[in-house]
Structure 1
Amino acid sequence: MKFQLKAKDSLSKARAGVITTDHGVIETPIFMPVGTVASVKGVHQRELKNDINPDIILGNTYHLYLRPGIEILEKAGGLHKFMNWDRNILTDSGGYQVYSLSANRKIKEEGVKFKSHIDGSYHVFTPENVMEIQRSIGADIIMAFDECTPYPCDYNYAKRSMHMTHRWLDRCISHLGTLKPLYGYDQTLFPIVQGSVYKDLRRQSAEYIANAGAEGNAIGGLSVGEPAEEMYAMTEVVCEILPEDKPRYLMGVGTPINILENIALGIDMFDCVMPTRNARNGMLFTSKGTINIKNKKWEDDFSPIDEDGITWVDTEYTKAYLRHLFTVNEMLGKQIATIHNLGFYLWLVRSARQHILQGDFAQWKNMMVSSMDNRL
């Protein structure tokens, strides 16, 4: 993997860059649609390619390990071939899912024993076998195994957890060095900065991760319930330390406003289930604010979904029609809403990139944040 910085904003820390892997070019800043179980929920791959058009999507190690399972993925030739996706894929390490199974897992130095949410069977993730699982999945960018701490989190617990995440990283790097890619292309490991919402821990972790010398770095343990101001403060601290010539990935973030504010702090890569999950519940993101399409006020509104025509969906369907589809529980409504929200997120990061290249990102960002901070 290679990363090249193309431009930096003069009034913020926003950057525009290019990541190149064996599966193609990724222009940053980038938002990665979440394809948890080898599918971006409710979206055909042809719509994903032709209408949303991301350079990279995300797969979930925990879910793919349980279903369809590593044996099936290896027989298929890896996740790219299994789901018919010839562009980039990033897989998380399963650390966040293990965190979310708090009642059904036990964390030790060796790794994590957890109970499947599907059938109650017990499994163990270690730094070593998580590297092997992600090797079998075959993503272009893979994550080191980490512990994602909850919010709020006791300082001493956060400190112990951070140091264990660092020890796990060393084990990931060591074991990955003994493995060869299965499918004829390289995989790139990103370590993960932890430390909860404590600046001194975040600094320590960022320094440890920077010293690992990886080709890219991630920031985890945020967007887990902390106020947005805390998230921004931690991001700022970490971005001051992580190397400028490597891409920075903020995991699991967030709203359109969160994304723009974190781009301004120096983040290059994002993922979040919010655009797809909210879409299925009738919540749409637009350039003028958020819309609950189920509200009666849209019943006879025949204007486009986003009146600025941000995505192709916005010129094809009206608010009234989409509300009708939700009212009658027609699955097409959820599909249209999902494609709209994903299209909007990709439009947002691509517009951010253009304004960074043009040199007016900070002004544009402030205008967009004000415009999107409305309930319509």
Structure 2
Amino acid sequence: MKSAVLPEIFDEAKIGRTPVYQPYLVGNVSRYVNDCLDSGWISSRGEFVPKFETGFAEFVGANEATSVANGTVALHLALEALGIGSGDEVIVPTLTYVATVNTILQTGAKPVFVDSLADTLQMDPLATEQAVNPRTKAIMAVHLYGHPCDMASIVAICRRHDLLLIEDCAEAFGSQWNGQHVGNFGDAATYSFFGNKTITTGEGGMVVTRDPEIMRRCRRLKNQGVSSTREYWHDILAYNYRMTNIQAAIGLAQLEVASEILALKAQVAEAYRVGLAGLPLRTHDPVGSVTHSHWMCSVIVDRCQDRDPLRAHLADQEIETRPFFPPTHTLPHCRGEGEFPVAAGLSARGINLPSYPGLGQGQINRICAAIRSFWR
């Protein structure tokens, strides 16, 4: 494949609002979707579902993968298949998207929150080990904004205490720890293909696991618990979490250009790193032997009082941004014990900048100039 290069041409007169994200729908997307329409296979059966599952497993290095309707139900399905439920505790970083914690609560288990590391933004392994107690059943590692967690430390904690490990890779397609794609370190892992994810199916998600029995449970639970030997016989409480053939068609087309997308996103992140050097902020750079997929290109301003005025300044110039997630332990239905100063500080100072792979060099120059003008 031809190497991806950020476009240099930029016409200020033609630019409007710059969104935080927009999907990169190139290649065979239209062709594959039209194949679904022409064949009539538009629901959860059809040739693209198994093709996408097989192709995805190969790309991330997993043994098997099963597709689902979205990334949230992927998490719920993995937790259910692993037998996590009432009376169990799951250790999770408080600095994460609410879906991570919602799915733990939906199983009847209790989320136990831990703080993050300031440099990587990922869950703190020391705090994680200190949170282990006799009720702990699992650790949920969340690879936030595309940077991997410290998987060597987290895997070691799980082995020492005989805990299950689930990886939330919703934001980490293309991320690697020591040369290994995330999602291959634990008992199960999940991905999201929402419209703002690195590869998208509009909505959609995937569960991967190394254990054939866990995969068998996932496939049965996502398909209404139907018997494999008797038609319309359902003998367990289960769900309809299936992906459609049209979603899978889009996903397969996205997989075909995934390396190009990841290369472009890496160039966008590098352009921000260069363009914002010397300002009272830092970019979210890779730390250690990792591949940061840069789902979001993030900056952390030095002073929390600058964050919201900077976002307002950019909004005035039609540049959309997003704040970092609020610590989930502060949300009304997720209230948890403890103080998490690093997560709180990051949440108060973090901004996600426009991060899509089609972002040109001229647009990035404009965004960087707008940020610089805030401090003049």
Higher relative contact order (CA 8 A, sep 6+): 2
The structure richer in helix per residue is 1
Quick check: TM above 0.5?
no
Q: What's the TM-score, normalizing by structure 2?
A: 0.30
Q: What's the TM-score, normalizing by structure 1?
A: 0.30
